[in-house]
Amino acid sequence: MATRGRDAGRSSGNRSAGKPDGRKPAVRKPAERRAPGGRPPKLRGQVRLRDKPDLRGDGFGTRRGKAGGPGKRDADRRGPGKSRGPKARRAIKVTPIAAPAAESDGKLRLNRFLASSGVCSRRAADEYIVGGRVTVNGEPTTQLGTRVDPDADDVRVDGSRVQVERKVYILFNKPKDVVCTNATNEQRRRVVDYLPQVRGRVYTVGRLDTESQGLILVTNDGDFAQHVAHPRYGLAKTYAVLVSGRVDDEKLKKARGGVWLSEGRTSGARIAIERRGRDRTYLKVSIKEGRNREIRRIFAQLEHPVISLKRVRIGPLTLHGLGSGRWRFLHRDEVAALMSITREGGDGAPHEGSDE
């Protein structure tokens, strides 16, 4: 009992020593770690509403609306009487751009003038201009939009005067293993290597792959090349095609209607059967698009790979009297006929009476 009394007295003395007024000592809590900004760190899963904008308009966040109702910003955007619903896709409005007025002062852009004069391509002409290699009337120019008068202005490249070239239009019968490029580092024989008598820079209108042969146009007239090659002008090119296997009517129907290739569906082809054999089929195929190796890819898709392909007609122009590797200049009326067909929207291809 005495021990208990002494212990009780010691305990009472300790309490009195801690707090003279006899109150309980305060229990110290562990110190809170604070973030560098002075606020306590967020716990996982904890979101402080005052740190989040009111994205939903439901009354939570910085921009508060009425509890359970839309925020002011959302209500203003929707307008009165409109309830929140599924988000609708907005249609994209395309504003047509007016075509620029035709320039009637006879001037040309400098890069176009250099290209049409046989100096180089338009892309290379831009590099010449920016590089300061071109002068106009004795003054160097580096502006790509510079326009010049071919008849009055003195244009020079590296000190040599540029002369306006006469337009050239050539029909060439390309053999196999000849490439349609002007690259100077090309090891194989090029189409332009067959034309040593033609002065100035000329180029092929479109391309025929290395294994294909037949008609191709060569010119230095960019507008003419655009009208002949671009699909929107609808000039038809006709090919004599030999494919492997006996092509049935169902597959011909697919080829005529359009076949899906990697870049999309083809616009269809006009196909006439010349002859059907047991293991091969001879066809005449007319197309207006001219995608890269289009006919070969179409029949490969139909499981009838192409054995040989020869372009025999471009609009009204044919191979008549033109042997392999031979060429001739087009007559003025032939050039005019091609341009007329492309302007009027015709294709220039012959209409076959029967497909069989």
Instruction: Produce one character per residue of 313-326: b if its CB has 16 or more CB atoms within 10 Å, e if not.
Output: bbbebebeebeeee
For the chain, percent helix, then strand, then coil, each to nearest 5?
25, 20, 55
Instruction: Tell me which DSSP letter residue 88 carries.
Output: P
The catalytically annotated residue of 76, 193, 209, 248 is 209
Active site annotation includes 51: no
Q: What is the CB neighbour count within 10 angstroms for residue 226?
A: 13
Residue 255 structure tokens:
């080829």
Residue 312 near residue 199 (C-beta atoms within 8 A): no
CA separation for the pair 187, 127 (Å, rounded): 26
Measured between alpha carbons, how far is 219 from 168 in angstroms, rounded to an integer?
Answer: 5
Per-residue buried b or exposed e for 107-144, using 16+ beta carbons within 10 Å of the residue's own CB: bbbbbebbbbbbbbeeeebbebbeeeebbbeeeebeee
What is the sign, positive or negative, of the torsion defined by CA atoms of 157, 159, 160, 163? positive
Helix (H) or strand (E) holding 125: helix 122-130
CB atoms within 10 A of CB 63: 14
* Cα torsion angle, 42, 48, 51, 53, sign: positive
Torsional class of 238: left (φ above 0), alpha (ψ -120 to 50), beta (otherwise): beta
Distances (CA, A) of 114 to 119, 131, 316, 348: 5, 14, 31, 32
First to last CA, the chain: 129
Q: Annotated active-site positions, please?
A: 209
